[in-house]
Amino acid sequence: MGKINKTLGEFIIENQSSFAYSTGELSKLIHAIRLAAKVVNHEVNKAGLVDILGDAGDQNVQGEDQQKLDILANEKFIQTLKNREIVCGIASEEEDSFIEVNSHDELHQNKYVVLIDPLDGSSNIDVNVSVGTIFSVYRRVTPIGSPVTLEDFLQPGRNQVAAGYVVYGTSTMLVYTTGHGVNGFTLNPAIGTFYLSNPDMQFPEDGKIYSVNEGNYIHFPQGVKDYIKYCQEEDGDRPYTSRYIGSLVSDFHRNMIKGGIYMYPKSSKASNGKLRLLYECNPMAFLAEQAKGKASNGYERILDLQPTELHQRVPFFCGSRKMVEKAESFMAKHEAVEFK
């Protein structure tokens, strides 16, 4: 029980030596994300009491309607990361371009860039359904001492040094990895402290849950249609259970605990899918692989994809290894047709 009662701060200190670059900045960065998550959690929990529900009346760079809480969460995370002076750049799903961050003491001396989806599934706020935050951390590739550039952000997911998410639900959990497994911490709201509650989280090798927006079925590639039909067939431990929340963080979190697959394929309405490679797919793929799961675009490992733009979208299949591999086998049967 002693291990379960460990705080996030204690866990970070005890495991700092396992980081690839143990100079303290990455630990401070995780602390900053923890602080911002607590602030956003406070706002989410009082959403029905103050005027932060509904559309803000603007659209983000992807042309999506921004919710008021999207803007608030974006501001809180950016402000917190800037104030701690531990990153040289920030890219947010809600911003047109990346943000250069300069240290007041030493110009451009910070080593890390952060990419963030401040409030995933924010449209669910109005109906009191779980939402989340997703973050991804890389070491810059341009020389320390020079201004951060787009090159620092357009790195393949395998270069991540840390990634994680916060799920704001019946309880608030921060789940993250630095490349040494996945651990989950639950917030005690009475004292504002995260405690280790889910050590060494892992996907079951197989599962019985599939998560996909079946309302788009008619627009999906044939391989995806065939896999969905396979999930629905009565045979052995099938049919599987369909569970789709509409918040990537929530669907991923459930599937990691219970076993399942999350799918957001390309379609005739969205030729590259909807999810962003840098803000959603890469961090979730890193977490999945660290938790013995798998993530691909249906054909290739997500973490091996070379990004070409900041807001790039890709198809996404993620979850229990055997389920993802089965979905890939259905996709492979139609690969020649799909890529014509």
Residue identified by tokens 């219970």 is 258
Q: Is residue 275 a known part of a binding site?
A: no
Q: Which amino acid is at 286?
A: F
As a whole number of angstroms, the distance between CA 4 and CA 313 comes to 38
Q: Is residue 213 a known part of a binding site?
A: yes
Q: Is residue 272 a known part of a binding site?
A: no
Q: Is residue 17 a known part of a binding site?
A: no
Q: Is residue 274 a known part of a binding site?
A: yes
- Other CB atoms within a 10 A radius of the CB of residue 156 amount to 16
Q: Is residue 244 a known part of a binding site?
A: yes
Element (H, E) at 115: strand 112-120
Q: Is residue 123 a known part of a binding site?
A: yes
Tokens of residue 237, six digits: 């431990």
Burial 263-292 (b: 16+ CB within 10 A, else e): bbbbbeeeeebbbbbbbbbbbbbbbbbbbb
Q: Is residue 164 a known part of a binding site?
A: no
Q: Is residue 117 a known part of a binding site?
A: yes
As a whole number of angstroms, the distance between CA 30 and CA 10 comes to 12
Q: How far is CA 279 from CA 50, 93, 110, 213, 249, in A?
A: 28, 7, 21, 20, 12
Q: Specify binding-site residues for Mg(2+).
A: 93, 117, 119-120, 280
Q: Specify binding-site residues.
A: 93, 117, 119-123, 213, 244, 274, 280
Q: Specify binding-site residues for substrate.
A: 120-123, 213, 244, 274
